[in-house]
C-alpha cells in the first residue's frame, strides 16, 4: 500500500487525499480500566491516518479483527493490484459485501492466482481492466 500511497501523493494537482486505515500491533486490552494498544505507524505518504484497534491482516484478512473490512466497506469500488494473501482476502470480502471490484493485474497475480481465477463467477460488478484507459472506463461504468 505504500507504493499506491506514494504514487497518488505524487500526482500534481490531484483531487483527494491519501487515507490509510492503520492496524494495531496487538489487540487492545484493558489496563487499569483504559484501552491500550500499539498502532502501526502509517507510511510516510498517508495524509489522513485512520487508527484502529484491529491487529489482523494478510492471511487473516477476513477475520472480524482485520481492518480489511473497513477498507472494503468504505470503498466506492475496490481496484485490485498485484498482491498477496491480504489482497486476496479483500477480493473475497468485496464479493461478500457486493462491492464493485476491478482487477488491474496485467500479467501479475494475487496470492499466486491470475485474474481468470479471481473474478467471482456471475458477478456483474466484478471486471478486469487491462490498461489505464480501460480501468478509468470500468470505474465510470461501475460507479454510475
The pLDDT tens digits for 60-89 are 999 999 999 999 999 999 999 999 999 999
Residue 143 has what pLDDT?
85
For the record, the C-alpha cell of 49 comes out as 491516518
pLDDT tops 80 at residue 123: no
Length of the chain counted residue by residue: 144
Tell me how far apart the alpha carbons of residues 75 and 94 are, in angstroms, rounded to a whole number. 9
The torsion angles phi and psi of 34, rounded to 5 degrees, stand at: -120, 145
Tell me how far apart the alpha carbons of residues 41 and 43 are, in angstroms, rounded to a whole number. 7
Report CA Rg, the chain.
16
- pTM here is 0.85
Residue 81 has what pLDDT?
93
What residues does 22 pair with on adjacent strands?
A: 51
Residue 110 has what pLDDT?
95
For residues 46 and 27, the model is more confident at 46
Residue 62 has what pLDDT?
95
Query: Which uninterrupted H or E stretch holds 85?
Result: helix 85-96
Residue 51 has what pLDDT?
92
Provide the residue ranges of all domains of the chain, joining segments of one domain with +: 1-55, 56-63+75-144
What residues does 51 pair with on adjacent strands?
A: 22
Under the banding of pLDDT at 50, 70 and 90, the label for residue 32 is confident
Q: Which of 13-17, 35-39, 69-73, 111-115 has the lowest mean pLDDT?
A: 35-39
Contact 103, 142 (CB under 8 A): no
CA-closest candidate to residue 1, choices 36, 38, 50: 50
Q: Which whole number is the average pLDDT over 48-58?
A: 91
pLDDT tops 90 at residue 39: no
CA-closest candidate to residue 103, choices 93, 95, 112, 91: 91
Amino acid at each position: 500500500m505504500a507504493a499506491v500511497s506514494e504514487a497518488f501523493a505524487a500526482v500534481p494537482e490531484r483531487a483527494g487525499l491519501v487515507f490509510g486505515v492503520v492496524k494495531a500491533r496487538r489487540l487492545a486490552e484493558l489496563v487499569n480500566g483504559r484501552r491500550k494498544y500499539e498502532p502501526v505507524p502509517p507510511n510516510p505518504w498517508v495524509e489522513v491516518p485512520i487508527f484502529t484497534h484491529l491487529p489482523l491482516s494478510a492471511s487473516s484478512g477476513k477475520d472480524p479483527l482485520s481492518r480489511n473490512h473497513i477498507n472494503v466497506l468504505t470503498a466506492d469500488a475496490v481496484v485490485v493490484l498485484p498482491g498477496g494473501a491480504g489482497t486476496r482476502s479483500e477480493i473475497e470480502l468485496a464479493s461478500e459485501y457486493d462491492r464493485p471490484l476491478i482487477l488491474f493485474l496485467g500479467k501479475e497475480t494475487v496470492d499466486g492466482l491470475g485474474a481468470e481465477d479471481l473474478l467471482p463467477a456471475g458477478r456483474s460488478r466484478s471486471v478486469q481492466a487491462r490498461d489505464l484507459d480501460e480501468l478509468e472506463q470500468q470505474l465510470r461504468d461501475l460507479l454510475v
